[in-house]
Amino acid sequence: MKDSKSDTIDFGYKQVAKNEKQSLVANVFNSVAQKYDIMNDVMSFGIHRIWKRYTIDCSGVRTGMKVLDIAGGTGDLTAQFSRRVGPTGEVVLADINQAMLDVGRDKLRNKGIVGNVDYVQANAEDLPFEDERFDIITIAFGLRNVTDKQKALESMFRVLKPGGRLLVLEFSKPVPPMLSQAYDFYSFNVLPKMGQLVAGDAESYQYLAESIRMHPDQDTLKSMMEQAGYERVTYDNLTGGIVALHRGFKF
Ligand SMILES: C[S@@+](CC[C@H](N)C(=O)[O-])C[C@H]1O[C@@H](n2cnc3c(N)ncnc32)[C@H](O)[C@@H]1O
């Protein structure tokens, strides 16, 4: 990871010019948008639903709150937040990619989730919202794809209310060595083949496996959040650390 000083940045295992990564990531999500939900269920054996439910449970969401689900994609978290904040609350589903937002909007409307959800195309690094607008911000499986992660954490800090919390749900570093080996085998041998079979796209799922390895580990991400100003930063390892949920508060 070379976020701040270098001119290049990782895109999976490749190093690319910093100003190139955003469009390469856009290509990935343009390609997978229509099959994104089914691939999530297939490749995680449905476990992503449990990770997301845990995130909601840890969010402290209550009726009337304002929530930002950035890099929200097809809106799994937004759907659950929408029910919890009720008609007096507000959820903003924001994503840099219009194709992912379109799939999300159609899915949520088909489920009857309307009224308290707004859809905004936005870059996590430069959020187009006023200061201290949100009680809760979530970024699920999104931070890994952002070019300047530190800038994104700072941008989220700016739009968070004092007393509000950020939750970062992201792939991380598996803790037990045996799990790590099995997971590597699965990621590099099975996942791209599944991607080819289900979504007709092996390359995007090869990127997924590589981008996970390049993402900061649990303690590095914790330090980055502290550097951005968050306090009482903690994390929980889920499924042996394959995924981690980081939480931090703004006071
Ligand atoms: C793996 S999907 C996660 C979607 C959803 N949060 C979920 O958990 O199912 C990652 C999302 O991050 C979005 N994304 C990538 N870079 C972004 C950025 N700089 N700002 C906002 N969204 C971004 C992508 O467009 C994509 O929809």
Tokens of 149: 């992660």
Mutate to test the pocket of ligand 1, among 51, 141, 155, 156 (most ligand atoms within 8 A of CB): 141
Q: Was 124 annotated as part of a binding site?
A: yes
- Residue 212: predicted pLDDT: 93
Give a yes or no: residue 28 inside a domain: yes
CA distance 195 to 32: 9
In the reported structure, the alpha carbon of residue 229 is separated from the centroid of ligand 1 by a whole-number distance in angstroms of: 23
Residue 6: pLDDT band (50, 70, 90) is confident
3-state helix, strand, coil in the chain (%, to 5): 50, 25, 25
- Residue 198: predicted pLDDT: 87
Ligand 1: which residues within 6 Å by Cβ? 25, 29, 70-74, 76, 95-97, 100, 123-125, 140-142, 145-146
Give a yes or no: residue 224 inside a domain: yes
ipTM: 0.99
Report, in angstroms and rounded to the nearest whole number, the Rg of the chain calculated over CA atoms: 17
| pLDDT, mean over the chain | 94
Query: What is the count of structural domains for the chain?
Result: 1
Domain range for 154: 8-176+204-249
Three-state DSSP state, 232: strand
For residue 129, give the H/E element and its range. Answer: none
- Residue 199: predicted pLDDT: 85
CATH number for the domain that contains residue 122: 3.40.50.150
Give a yes or no: residue 231 inside a domain: yes
Task: Give the nearest ligand 1 atom to 152 CA.
Answer: 19
pTM of the model: 0.95
In the reported structure, the alpha carbon of residue 26 is separated from the centroid of ligand 1 by a whole-number distance in angstroms of: 9
- Residue 5: predicted pLDDT: 66
Give a yes or no: residue 191 inside a domain: no
Other beta carbons within 10 Å of 227: 11
CB burial string 51-69: b at 16+ within 10 A, e below: bbebbbebbebeeebbbbb
Residue type, 133: R
Q: What pLDDT, in 10s, does the model give residues 181-223?
A: 999 999 999 999 999 998 888 998 899 999 999 999 999 999 9
Q: What pLDDT, in 10s, does the model give residues 90-102?
A: 999 999 999 999 9
Give a yes or no: residue 199 inside a domain: no
CA distance 30 to 99: 6
Three-state DSSP state, 135: strand
Task: Give the nearest ligand 1 atom to 72 CA.
Answer: 6
Q: Is the dihedral angle over the CA atoms 111, 114, 120, 123 positive or is it negative? A: negative
- Residue 74: predicted pLDDT: 97
Residues 6+ apart with CB under 8 A from 106: none
CA distance 125 to 122: 9
Give a yes or no: residue 12 inside a domain: yes
In the reported structure, the alpha carbon of residue 2 is separated from the centroid of ligand 1 by a whole-number distance in angstroms of: 20
- On whether the CB atoms of residues 87 and 116 are closer than 8 A, the answer is yes
CA distance 193 to 101: 26
Q: What pLDDT, in 10s, does the model give residues 82-139?
A: 999 999 999 999 999 999 999 999 999 999 999 999 999 999 999 999 999 999 999 9
Mean pLDDT of 6-18: 91
Question: Is the confidence at residue 4, as pLDDT, over 70?
Answer: no
Q: Was 138 annotated as part of a binding site?
A: no
Give a yes or no: residue 182 inside a domain: no
Give a yes or no: residue 69 inside a domain: yes
